[in-house]
Amino acid sequence: MVSFFDMLSYLGSSPTRMGEILGSGLPVVANEGVGDVAQIIRSHKVGVIVDGPKPEQMMKALRELDDLLNDSDLPSRCRRAAEEIFSLHTGTKAYHKLYDDILSAKQR
């Protein structure tokens, strides 16, 4: 049986690995249901979402991945997505804005 804390650990690990993979210029293969992973993959065109475990669903994902790997812009698009979403600079800016918003709201 998976505990609540195991599930939290799992949810935190996937986006971290995703950033590492994209940062190396490689696409990601994932399924729905882990944070905003699917939305990132779709919006940046940096991977494939597997619709389910059935053989025909896996074959569909494999064909999509094969097509994606033929895109010469894929490595730079993956790297760009990693920098925009997962970089320390981006995260620091987002936290700074969040803290500014919180402090501004307290002062009102």
Q: Provide block-wise average pLDDT over 10 residues at a time, the chain (108 residues).
A: 48 72 95 87 96 94 96 97 87 85 81
Q: Output the pLDDT for position 1.
A: 53
**Rounded-to-integer distance, Cα 57 and Cα 72, Å:** 25
What CA dihedral angle connects 108, 102, 33 and 10, to 10 degrees?
A: -150
Tokens of 60: 């569909």
Whole-prediction pTM: 0.72
**Rounded-to-integer distance, Cα 65 and Cα 74, Å:** 11
Q: Output the pLDDT for position 81.
A: 96
Do the beta carbons of residue 42 and residue 49 sit within 8 Å?
yes
Q: Output the pLDDT for position 68.
A: 96
**Domain range annotation of the chain:** 4-107
